[in-house]
Amino acid sequence: MTLYVERLGTGPDLVLLHGWGMNGAVFDGIKTELSKQFRLHIIDLPGFGYSADLGIEDPDLSSWLDLMLKALPERAHLLGWSLGGMLAIRLAFLYPERVLSLITVASSPRFVAEPEWPGVKPEVLTSFSAQLQADTHKTIERFLAIQALGSASARDDVRILRERLQSRPVPHPQALRTGLSLLQELDLRAELSILARPALHLLGRLDALVPAAVQEVWPQSTPRVKFHLFRASAHAPFITESNEFVAVVSEFITAQPRNDLSSTAVLANN
């Protein structure tokens, strides 16, 4: 059994990983343009979308990563949104020989706010966890609304997210619980600080979940790390500013040496 992967296009391999509560259809608005330059692999994460029945019996980060690794091309550029970005960071750290470059979208190595670290207040995620037990649908709806909060196109953004979520099977409740736990618990700052792959971190100026100010305290890493701020976007810049998003991603990947494996010094057990 393998995760569902939508594959299209030709060119360098580019993997797209969605965020919590969603599925690969969230990237429908950009996949046509990206597929003109890249071979896309759009993965439904364990327990989500068409992968709703996978990764449920042993729901933890290790089993999720094992399933994802089996679905990845031998070498690829990784693009992860929100929770998908955190998973991409972990994969790039553990398996640098499989990752040509890393792109995170509205994501950070630590989702929860701490002193001098911008993020989501811990009590917000605690309330999500409690609400998830009582009303899964309402919890996801609330999360969709927060993702677009602050955007001038918030209503349209939420509508698009909802439509794409509903285009595939609903998430498995266990996957929602596991994903929410990962958002609460993961701290990848140490891994990110020694990550030896080229990286691009995309942030939304209006994002209420991953504040743009996190860039100011981002872990120092290699000089090949870049940032880009989408001025009109909240948590979903690939929806709000899709044309600019495609252009920025394409420019970054195109600038990378093909099959660059020069920085594989980071080993899985470091």
CATH of the domain at 95: 3.40.50.1820
pLDDT tens for each residue of 21-63: 999 999 999 999 999 999 999 999 999 999 999 988 777 899 9
The Cα–Cα gap between 61 and 267 comes to 18
- Residue 128: C-alpha distances to residues 42, 47, 48, 113, 142 (Å): 27, 18, 18, 15, 9
**Tokens 């596991």 -> residue:** 178
The tally of CA atoms less than 13 A away on the side-chain side of residue 106 is 28
**Tokens 């305290």 -> residue:** 217
Output the pLDDT for position 223. 64
**What 3-state class would DSSP assign to 266?**
coil
Cβ–Cβ under 8 Å, residues 168 and 3: no
Output the pLDDT for position 222. 63
**Of these residues, 82, 107, 108, 233, which one is catalytic?**
82
> Known catalytic residue: 82?
yes
Cβ–Cβ under 8 Å, residues 47 and 178: yes
Determine which helix (DSSP H) or strand (DSSP E) holds 142, and give its type and residue range: helix 136-148
Output the pLDDT for position 56. 83
Nearest residue to 204 via CA among 93, 108, 61, 64: 108
Note whether residue 260 is domain-resident.
no
The Cα–Cα gap between 25 and 20 comes to 13
- Structural domain of residue 127, as residue ranges? 5-254
| Residue ranges for the chain with pLDDT beneath 50 | 261-270
Beta bridge partners of 101: 77
- Which segments of 76-222 are extended strands (E)? 76-81, 99-105, 199-204
Note whether residue 263 is domain-resident.
no
**Of these residues, 101, 108, 207, 233, which one is catalytic?**
207
The Cα–Cα gap between 246 and 250 comes to 6
Residues 71-109 as b/e (b if ≥16 CB within 10 A, e otherwise) read bbbebbbbbbbbbbbbbbbbbbbbbbebbbbbbbbbbbb
Structural domains counted in the chain? 1
Output the pLDDT for position 259. 55
Note whether residue 150 is domain-resident.
yes
Tokens, residue 64: 């999720």
**What 3-state class would DSSP assign to 93?**
helix
pTM: 0.93
